[in-house]
Amino acid sequence: EAGVAQSPRYKIIEKRQSVAFWCNPISGHATLYWYQQILGQGPKLLIQFQNNGVVDDSQLPKDRFSAERLKGVDSTLKIQPAKLEDSAVYLCASSFFGGQGGEQFFGPGTRLTVL
C-alpha cells in the first residue's frame, strides 16, 4: 500500500512570495489533515478535510493560507504572501475515517524556508 505522498520535499522562497504544497493521501482515506510543525514544537493542525469538505480550519491564517481538496482526493495548501514566521515543516496526514479512532498516516513533509 502506497503511503501519503507530498511534494516538494524542500522549498526556499523569499518573504512576500507565494508557495504551494501538494498532498496525495492513501487511497480510500476520507480524512486529510495539514499540519504546521515549527522546529522544536509539536504539529499544529491547520485544516482538516472530510472527503472534500472542511471540518476544521480554526487555526488556519486565512488572510494568507488557503487549502483545497478537489474531488475528495488530492489536496493543495497555498501560502500567499509568505512571512518569515511561516518557516516550518508542513505535514500532510490521512486517516480512513474521522472521529476518535484510527491512526493518522503521515507523509514525509515539506520543509519550507522563508528568507
Residue number, 81 or 98, with CB nearest to another protein = 98
**Is there a contact between 42 and 59 (Cβ–Cβ < 8 Å)?**
no
Closest approach, Cβ 110 to another protein, in A, equals 10
Cell 522549498 belongs to residue: 11
> Which triple of cell numbers denotes residue 51?
472527503
Closest approach, Cβ 67 to another protein, in A, equals 15
Which residue of 21, 24, 29, 48 would you call a contact of another protein, by CB under 8 A? 48
Which residue of 19, 24, 25, 31 would you call a contact of another protein, by CB under 8 A? 31
Closest approach, Cβ 16 to another protein, in A, equals 27
The span from the first CA to the last CA of the chain, in angstroms, equals 37
Residues that bind another protein (CB under 8 A): 31, 33, 35, 40-45, 48, 50, 55-56, 89, 91, 93, 95, 97-106, 108-109, 111
